[in-house]
């Protein structure tokens, strides 16, 4: 059976529990210990699929088609192993399961209560991934901050697990903030003391305290935190602000977090850490030879989390190409035919982002036209691909009113149509075409050059598709459909051969880009942008 590590957060949200959990898992993995990470989120939505990106950032889709928290993206990018539905559980999903059981009469007339019924279901799911024998360690990130009403049942369940399992099989890592008071020139430990006290009141005691801080912690401060929070002196570690999240595993290694954890969990079989690939990546990331400017055309650009996986994919692809990718956010609502030259001139590539609904659509179409006509590298993802199809229909095929039925249900030329199986669906949550599907690539196309194979699998999240009734018309005018779903013929990739780099994909390649295996489409897009930068310099 696996050993369990719980990561809780204190003082404030946004301290980066996900990055700390991922870094710890990475360090264990580097020593030959298999680890997975799961996240328990306190909100009532069954999953984040129905949440607006402004509320919750990007919705990360797993291989098996679960719509999950964006922290799962970090887990995969760090570990280079896929997660699944089981890796993300919300309060909503817990209650849904328990209520369904109640309706089925499974509680045999008992009163159904938070303790034990809700906590039992939380416990079942917390233990699940560790029971398959696939992992040595399961790290569970508890969303929210200790003291929140919403996360109380999760913390109570951690208490029960800590009580039930042998001491060497479970541990708690508490992430907290040590604020620096500029006026007093002092780091303050009081908020941390309070948050550990609050955690202890619920019966959960941390084994390690990881302190987020802008300034290094002195030994005195560490000792003080250890004493007042009742943890071993060596188990208070600092987590200094880093220039990139990809440096955090190394910072944690310096603080010996992996050693502390292995000691507490009595893990005696481990290797010397092998972070060779990670370090090669980091060296390249930190020593770019040049810079490329990529326009990210989207409607959620005010919130960086909305395009998290795309931004991280740029970082992976930039390091691979030894360039710094400078992402210029362009709000699609602000692009018009009059100002498009001024807005996009000087960029080395355009990525038109995924999205839903009508807002900012015309700006995206104008941006595609600009990239196509000016031979600027273009990369469209999901909605971005659909916009490339609409642009081509309107401006090359001359179908002036071409549109997607998502935006214009009455368009005389619905070049993007609702997928057949979607037409019967009325519920919103979890009903899109989700997760990994195969795609067959035509030989001697740009896609073939990029992937180096004719058979790929990529992840999806959409309701609409290329309308194959228009296939011939597009082919006649030179748009190539270079990737198709083998079962349905659904167009997955479109490209333009008479252009340095013009490609649109119905799927989300950003969801599979990791430090050790950057997404090929991003790598080639950045390479094309690099060429564009040198030829236009």
Tell me which residues touch ligand GLN (CB under 6 A). 354-356, 382-383, 406, 461-464
Q: Which is nearer to ligand GLN, 278 or 300 (CB)?
A: 300
Least separation in angstroms between CB 331 and ligand GLN: 17
Taking the C-alpha atoms of residue 91 and residue 181, their distance in angstroms, rounded to an integer, is 36
Closest by alpha carbon to 144, among 37, 248, 20, 43? 43
**309: helix, strand or coil:** helix
| Lookup: tokens for 213 | 């801080």
Whichever of 9 and 73 has its CB closer to ligand GLN, that residue is 73
Please report where in the chains the tokens 């795309």 appear, as a residue: 310
Minimal distance in Å, beta carbon 463 to ligand GLN? 4
CB of 195 to ligand GLN, least distance (A): 38
Q: Return the bridge partners of 503, or none.
A: 379, 495
Please report which helix (H) or strand (E) contains residue 435, including its range: strand 433-441
With respect to ligand GLN, which residue has the nearer C-beta, 397 or 405?
405
Cβ proximity to ligand GLN, 16 vs 48, nearer residue: 48
| CA-closest candidate to residue 521, choices 447, 459, 453 | 447
Angle at 339 between CA 336 and CA 344, to 5 degrees: 100
- Shortest distance (Å) from residue 391 CB to ligand GLN: 15
Q: In what order do the strands lie in the sheet with 170-177?
A: 88-90, 35-41, 137-142, 3-9, 170-177, 208-213, 236-240
Contacts of residue 308, Cβ cutoff 8 Å, sequence gap at least 6: 57, 58, 60, 70, 73
Catalytic residue IDs: 382, 508, 510
Distance, in Å, from the CA atom of 530 to the CA atom of 524, rounded to the nearest integer, reads 10
Q: Which residues pair with 295 in a beta bridge?
A: 328, 350
b/e burial code for range 323-334 (CB count within 10 A of at least 16 → b): bbbebbbbbbee
Compute how many other C-beta atoms are within 10 angstroms of the C-beta atom of residue 173.
26
Closest to ligand GLN by CB, 58 or 348: 58
Kindly tell me which of 270 and 356 has the beta carbon lying closer to ligand GLN. Answer: 356
Residue among 271, 313, 229, 223 at smallest CA distance from 515:
313
Residue 432 Cβ vs ligand GLN, minimum distance, rounded to whole Å: 6
Least distance in angstroms from the C-beta of 68 to ligand GLN: 15
């Amino acid at each position: 059976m696996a050993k369990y590590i719980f990561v809780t957060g204190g003082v404030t949200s946004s301290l980066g529990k996900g990055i700390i959990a991922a870094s710890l898992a990475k360090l264990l993995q580097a020593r030959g210990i298999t680890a997975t990470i799961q996240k328990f989120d306190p909100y009532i939505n069954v999953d984040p699929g129905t949440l607006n990106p402004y509320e919750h950032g990007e919705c990360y889709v797993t291989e098996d088609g679960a719509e999950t928290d964006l922290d799962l993206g970090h887990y995969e990018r760090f570990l280079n192993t896929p997660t699944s539905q089981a890796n993300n559980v919300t309060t909503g999903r817990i209650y849904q399961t328990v209520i369904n059981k109640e309706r089925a009469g499974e509680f045999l007339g008992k009163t159904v209560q938070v303790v034990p019924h809700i906590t039992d279901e939380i416990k079942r799911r917390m233990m699940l991934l560790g029971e398959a024998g696939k992992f040595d360690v399961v790290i569970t990130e508890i969303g929210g901050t200790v003291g929140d009403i919403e996360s109380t049942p999760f913390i109570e369940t951690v208490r029960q697990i800590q009580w039930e399992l042998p001491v060497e099989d479970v541990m708690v890592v508490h992430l907290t903030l040590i604020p620096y008071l500029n006026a007093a020139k002092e780091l303050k430990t009081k908020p941390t003391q309070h948050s550990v006290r609050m955690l202890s009141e619920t019966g959960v005691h941390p084994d390690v305290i990881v302190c987020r801080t802008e300034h290094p912690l002195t030994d005195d401060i560490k000792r003080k935190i250890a004493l007042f929070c009742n943890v071993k002196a060596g188990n208070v570690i600092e987590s200094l602000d880093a220039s990139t999240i990809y440096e955090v595993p190394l910072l944690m290694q310096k603080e010996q977090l992996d050693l502390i954890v292995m000691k507490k969990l009595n893990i005696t079989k481990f290797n010397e850490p092998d972070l060779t690939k990670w370090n090669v990546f980091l060296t390249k990331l930190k020593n770019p030879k040049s810079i490329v400017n990529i326009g990210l055309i989207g409607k959620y650009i005010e919130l960086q989390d909305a395009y998290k996986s795309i931004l991280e994919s740029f970082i992976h692809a930039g390091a691979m190409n030894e360039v710094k990718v400078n992402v210029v956010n362009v709000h699609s609502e602000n692009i018009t035919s009059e100002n498009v030259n001024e807005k996009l001139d000087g960029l080395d590539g355009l990525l038109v982002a995924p999205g839903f609904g009508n807002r900012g659509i015309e700006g995206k179409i104008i941006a595609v036209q600009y990239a196509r006509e000016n031979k600027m590298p273009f990369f469209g993802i999901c909605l971005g691909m659909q916009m490339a199809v609409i642009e081509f229909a309107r401006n090359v095929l001359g179908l002036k009113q071409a549109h997607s039925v998502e935006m214009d249900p009455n368009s005389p030329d619905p070049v993007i149509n609702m997928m057949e199986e979607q037409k019967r669906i009325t519920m919103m949550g979890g009903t899109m075409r989700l997760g990994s599907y195969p795609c067959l690539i035509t030989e001697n196309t740009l896609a073939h050059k990029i992937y180096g194979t004719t058979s790929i699998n990529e992840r999806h999240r959409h309701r609409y598709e290329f309308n194959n009734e228009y296939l011939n018309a597009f082919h006649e005018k030179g748009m190539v459909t270079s990737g198709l779903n083998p079962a349905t013929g659904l167009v997955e990739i479109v490209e333009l051969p008479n252009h340095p780099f013009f490609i649109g994909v119905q799927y989300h390649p950003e969801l599979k880009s990791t430090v050790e295996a950057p997404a090929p489409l991003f790598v080639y897009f950045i390479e094309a942008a690099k060429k564009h930068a040198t030829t236009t310099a």
